Amino acid sequence: MRELTNAEEDIMRVLWRLKKGFVKDVLADLPVLDSTGEKPAYNTVSTIIRILEKKGVVGYTAYGKTHEYYPLISEDEYRRFQTEQLMTNYFDGSLQKLVSFFVKERNVSLNEADEIIDLLNRQKP
């Protein structure tokens, strides 16, 4: 799997939410993306979807010249991929370093720490 650009992630979030849709559906569901307060152009969204198709993360069903697009990967699959990339690239693959970083940076409360410990204890075989 390859990392997606911010614009590609925005499109994927819409497709994950919609499950499937035409370019017009994706465009209608996109939030305002630029400082002008406007959505991207139809052709821009169409181009990004075709790039996502080439990357193997979006498929389509053709209805004549019209295409209905759908995600080929789940949001959880991409989240796992991104987390692995983050751990590998910034924390030497160490979960301990990753958690330690977030504990320090996010000022984790005692309640949150207890919840994390409880979650870890429930994951034990």
pLDDT number for residue 125: 65
| 108 and 67 fall within a common domain | no
Q: Give dist(CA 22, CA 13) in Å, integer.
A: 14
Any idea how long the chain is? 125
Is 1 a domain residue?
A: no
Q: Are residues 58 and 114 in the same domain?
A: no
pTM to 2 decimals? 0.80
Q: How far is Cα 86 from Cα 42, in angstroms, rounded to an integer?
A: 32
Range of the domain at 119: 91-125
The CATH number of whichever domain residue 37 belongs to comes to 1.10.10.10
Q: Does the residue 77 lie in any domain?
A: no
Neighbour tally for 92: CB within 10 Å: 10
* Strand, helix or coil for residue 25: helix
User: Domain count of the chain?
Assistant: 2
Same domain as 60, residue 98: no
Q: Is residue 67 part of a domain?
A: yes
Residues 7-46: tens digit of each pLDDT: 999 999 999 999 999 999 999 999 876 677 788 899 999 9
- Residue 107 region, left (φ>0) first, then alpha (ψ -120 to 50), else beta? left
Residues 57 and 102 occupy one common structural domain: no
